[in-house]
Amino acid sequence: RNLLRYMSRNDSANVDPSDGLPAPPVGTWARDKHGLLSLYIEITRATRRKFVDTPDKAGATFIDLYCGAGRAHIKGTDEYIDGSPLVGWKASQVGGHPFSAVYLCDADTLCLEAAAKRLRVLGAPVQLHEGSSLDAARHIVGNLNPHALHFALLDPFALDLPFEVIQVLSGLKRIDIMIHVSAMELQRNWARYSQAVDSPLDTFAPGWRQSVDLQQSDESARLSFIDYWLDKLGGLGFVEKPQFRLVRGPKNIPLYWLVLIAKHDIASRFWKKAVDLSTPQDSFDY
């Protein structure tokens, strides 16, 4: 019954024949994002081991606040791939030091349930949080061990990531955060968003209108907007500057940046290694 409801609400929805659960469509470029996610988690296993190798350790958590269904369908093909929750969990198992807890949230309850079911089949210790990403972040952070190691993925489909979500997560002493920032949406919708009284830009980077000169060219204004966002990140206690990775789509079109921020400077070395090992793409080291 839940699956029928999902299909009726999602015209382009697919069902993975391997398990009969939802698998929303994605572009081929999702492989780049998941490949880098997997590499980064694998590379950090030695650090994670220090937090999970004995029962009295604080633990290491994976937080995915826009988790999707756990599996996805590559548009225009017959191929189904793992989504971020499964990619992250499986990567943590490489080397024998998996996450001690996995926290999931998604606005689509049926996708959230599908992701959880798929992870539980794999033996993952899953906890679900329905509702908004901000409510989930507050609840999760309020119940985490403050001495544990944490990794969060913030992968919304568009520029609708509340900056406050990052603020809440930044309260954790040991956390790395990988953020999806839609370069395509920023470029395509800049004129409309920047002229609106309230838009996703105001959620993503509150207060930007007092710092960005809209009389300059759109390109310069967009760069100023990103500069403002980076300045706000800099005030949250993360070390060094954010690390960027640009992912391109067909015809070399910029699609999105993956941005890493962390509470420890060793993360930048792990990120560079993951980028060097990943499928060649243009990098954008902002």
pLDDT for the residue 13: 60
Between CA 173 and CA 149 the distance in angstroms is: 8
pLDDT tens-digit profile of 92-118?
A: 999 899 999 999 999 999 999 999 999
Which residues are CB-contacts of 192 (< 8 A; sequence separation ≥ 6)? Answer: 199
pLDDT tens-digit profile of 165-210?
A: 999 999 999 999 999 999 999 999 999 999 998 999 999 999 999 9
Mean pLDDT of 50-75: 94
Most distant CA atoms of the chain, gap in Å: 58
Q: Global pTM?
A: 0.92
pLDDT tens-digit profile of 205-233?
A: 999 999 999 999 999 999 999 999 999 99
Q: Which two tokens stand for residue 91?
A: 């990567």
Between CA 255 and CA 253 the distance in angstroms is: 6
Which of 138, 146, 162, 149 has the alpha carbon at shortest distance from 232?
162
Between CA 49 and CA 227 the distance in angstroms is: 36
Element (H, E) at 66: none
CA atoms within 13 A on the CB side of 19: 17
Centre a 10 Å sphere on the Cβ of residue 155 and count the other Cβ atoms it contains.
Answer: 22
Q: Which residues pair with 22 in a beta bridge?
A: 15
* Alpha-helical segments (H) within 61-124: 84-93, 109-121
Q: What percent of the chain has pLDDT over 90?
A: 79
